[in-house]
C-alpha cells in the first residue's frame, strides 16, 4: 500500500459507497483514480479519521443480473445462487478482518454449509423436475386423480352421488349408517 488517501477522503469514499453511489461517481468526487485504492477504502484498510479501525463494507456485485419471471423456479434458483455468493463474500470479508473469534468463524462455516446443502437440494429437485418432464406419465401416476369438473353443478352432483354411495356401502355392510 504505497498511497494512503487522507482520512477525510477515505470517509467520503466509504460514506458514498454505503449510500449506493456508482464507483465512477465516487472516483470523480474523491479524486482517487485508482480503483484498488477505492476498494481498499471500502474494505477498511485505511483510517477514516474516526480513531477506530473501520469495518469492511460488503462489496456490491458488478455485472448484469438475469431477470426471471417472479415466482418461477428459475428465479428462485438464481436468487439462491446470488444469496450464496453474497454469503461467501461476506464470510471472506469477515475472515479478512483481524481479531475474529473462533466461535464466529465456526458460525460462518455452519452458515456456509447450510447454504451449500440447500443449493445441492435445489439442484437435485431441479434435475428430478427436468427428468420427469422428459418422461411420459403412466396411468399409474394418476390412479386417484379425477378429471377437473368444468361445471360446479356437475361437481356437486358427483359429490352427492359419491356420498350416497359411501352411506349405502356402510348400511349394506351392517354398519349403523350415518345418523
Only one residue has cell 359411501, namely 166
Residue 27 banded pLDDT, cuts 50, 70, 90: very high
The full set of domain ranges for the chain reads: 1-60, 62-134, 146-170
Model pTM score: 0.36
C-alpha cell belonging to residue 115: 447454504
102 or 118, which is more confident: 118
Average pLDDT over residues 53-70: 68
Average of pLDDT values for 62-75? 62
Alpha-helical (H) ranges within the chain are 7-19, 23-30, 35-42, 73-96, 102-134, 152-172
> What pLDDT score was predicted for residue 22?
87
Mean of pLDDT over the chain: 77
Give the 3-state DSSP-derived string for 94-131, with helices as H, strands as E and coil as C. HHHCCCCCHHHHHHHHHHHHHHHHHHHHHHHHHHHHHH
Amino acid at each position: 500500500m504505497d498511497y494512503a488517501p487522507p482520512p477525510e477522503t477515505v470517509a467520503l469514499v466509504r460514506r458514498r459507497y454505503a449510500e449506493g453511489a456508482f464507483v465512477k461517481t465516487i472516483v470523480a468526487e474523491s479524486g482517487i483514480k485508482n480503483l484498488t485504492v477505492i476498494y481498499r477504502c471500502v474494505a477498511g484498510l485505511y483510517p477514516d479519521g474516526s480513531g477506530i479501525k473501520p469495518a469492511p463494507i460488503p462489496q456490491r456485485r458488478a455485472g448484469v443480473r438475469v431477470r426471471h419471471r417472479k415466482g418461477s423456479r428459475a428465479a428462485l434458483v438464481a436468487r439462491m445462487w446470488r444469496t450464496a455468493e453474497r454469503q461467501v463474500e461476506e464470510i471472506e470479508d469477515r475472515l479478512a478482518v483481524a481479531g475474529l473469534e473462533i466461535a464466529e468463524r465456526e458460525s460462518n462455516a455452519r452458515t456456509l454449509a447450510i447454504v451449500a446443502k440447500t443449493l445441492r437440494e435445489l439442484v437435485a429437485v431441479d434435475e428430478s423436475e427436468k427428468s420427469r418432464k422428459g418422461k411420459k406419465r403412466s396411468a399409474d401416476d394418476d390412479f386417484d386423480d379425477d378429471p377437473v369438473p368444468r361445471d360446479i353443478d356437475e361437481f356437486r352432483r358427483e359429490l352427492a352421488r359419491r356420498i350416497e354411495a359411501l352411506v349405502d356401502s356402510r348400511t349394506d355392510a351392517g354398519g349403523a349408517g350415518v345418523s
